[in-house]
Structure 1
């Protein structure tokens, strides 16, 4: 993981997304859904969900939107039946892409996802075609914009909590855990009053790909189209943004 920062990729994408208020709410809804799906719908016992809800409310996301995202994840949304689907494929330049879907109409969604890939010089593949290129990990980011948290301090706390690895960035620390240790590590760090900038169980690329400018533009357009699809809950790729 050294030399490649998931956090830098996230920040570059979020800075572009946040220009549109609707995308802010969509991102929060997906973060809330993911947290509730992984750890349950109770904010008292699910630290990831609690943090996701707090961030959504700080951006004035309506409470109804928050509740709907939680209910979708826990299967308690009245009158709705959702199915989870994972698509794997390749973007421009052979970038590996995994898309997690939650849909009430898989035929419609399949057509939309296939069209998005085809239109942007990508193609869908068989199940498992790129999954082996990613590792499932717990992922926690602690902001350090003011430089007050020392590397020795956070490394000690992360290791004591059971983290596997920590990556030092200029303004943040990226902490990686085994999926089964994620909640314990997160709760430990929250209890020590660290500011959690991001937290999730996610897929981390084993290697990153760089693309020529034109192919990168097409790949980013593919990501934009997928992110605009309300059925898309999460996207993983191994593109290193320039």
Structure 2
């Protein structure tokens, strides 16, 4: 998603109901558990994946107590949560590329649900690698500048000093790109300088975009994204639809 369309999505999410916020916390908690178990550490200084998920959690105002409690749960000897990371690729209306990242304890449940939604609102599920070749995996940090309080040059220099790889100013926000493993570290360094994020996570960033002009296609693409994001197993949905 381009910075502009990404910001559009963040603005929409800001006004979401408490139920949506609760669902977001639940999904992030799953990511924290997986990050701790795969990284073998509950210390973000020694676990870059965990550091990135914590930055994502803070961006959506997940309480520190919740984060700590989830880390402690993942480290507990009695924890039996076992989530598998699965990626699905397919096509939305008019050939829009769609990548769906899921954490599931039952592939036989998740795969048919994702397939059904892509068939219903798009052009269907594709083979592994059918669209991911046209995306780059990057750390993406979004800073809200709707009020114009942030100075572009200052933010750019601070971001680069903190280890960012690239910087992109938008009308209402600044997008900071990092290497995937550096996202949490850069976010933490920027937080230390007093910045507050609208979003901070590792994403699949499209290399090119597709415009939708047909009202039916636009409506179906919106329905597809909403339905996928409402699925309990789906963590992230990426696409190359250029939203207005």
Answer whether contact 2:83 2:103 (CA < 8 A) is retained: yes
**Distance verdict in 2 for CA 1:129–1:240, change over 3 Å:** same
1:10 aligns with 2:9: yes
TM-aligned CA deviation for residue 70 of structure 1: 8.3
Q: Deviations over 1:43-70 (max 9, x none)?
A: 7643751661570239xxx94x985698
Which of the numbers 200, 224, 227 marks the counterpart of 2:226?
Answer: 224
Q: Aligned partners of 1:112, 1:7: CA distance in 2, in Å?
A: 25
Partner Cα separation in structure 2 for residue 75 and residue 100 of structure 1: 26
Task: With the length of structure 1 as denominator, give the TM-score of the two structures.
Answer: 0.82
Contact 2:117 2:228 in 1 (8 A): yes
SS in 2 for 1:146: coil
Counterpart pick for 1:26 among 23, 26, 35: 23
Measured on the aligned residues, the alpha-carbon RMSD in Å equals 3.1
Name the SS for the 2:82 alignment partner: coil
Cα distance, 1:36–1:238 mapped onto 2, change above 3 Å: farther
Distance 1:6 1:149, change over 3 A: same
Deviation sequence 1:200-234 (CA, Å, 0-9, x none): 11111111211122101101111111111111111
Asked whether the 8 Å contact 1:28–1:55 carries over to 2, the reply is no
Which has the higher relative contact order, 1 or 2, with Cα contacts under 8 A spaced 6 or more apart? 2
1-structure distance, mates of 2:229, 2:68: 18
Paired residues of 1:89 and 1:125 also in contact (CA < 8 A) = yes
TM-score (norm 2): 0.81
Task: Give unpaired runs (5+ residues) of structure 1.
Answer: none
Change (3 A) 1:75 1:228: farther
Q: Alpha carbons of 1:50 and 1:241: their partners in 2 closer, same or farther (altered >3 Å)? A: closer
Give 1:55-66 correspondences, 5 Å limit: 55-57=61-63, 63=66
Report which stretch shifted further, 38-47 or 92-101.
Answer: 38-47
Q: Quote how far apart the aligned CAs of 1:172 are.
A: 1.9
CA distance in 1, matches of 2:55, 2:92: 34
Q: Is the 8 A contact 1:32 1:49 kept in 2?
A: no
Structure 2 unaligned regions, length at least 5 = 46-50
Q: Secondary structure at the match of 2:148?
A: coil
Secondary structure of 1:203 counterpart? strand
Whether contact under 8 Å (1:89, 1:122) holds in the other structure is yes
CA distance in 1 between partners of 2:7 and 2:26 (Å): 21
SS at structure 2 position matched to 1:5: helix
Q: Does 1:238 align with 2:240?
A: yes
Q: 1:215 to 1:51 in 2, by over 3 A?
A: closer
C-alpha distance in 2, partners of 1:146/1:112? 41
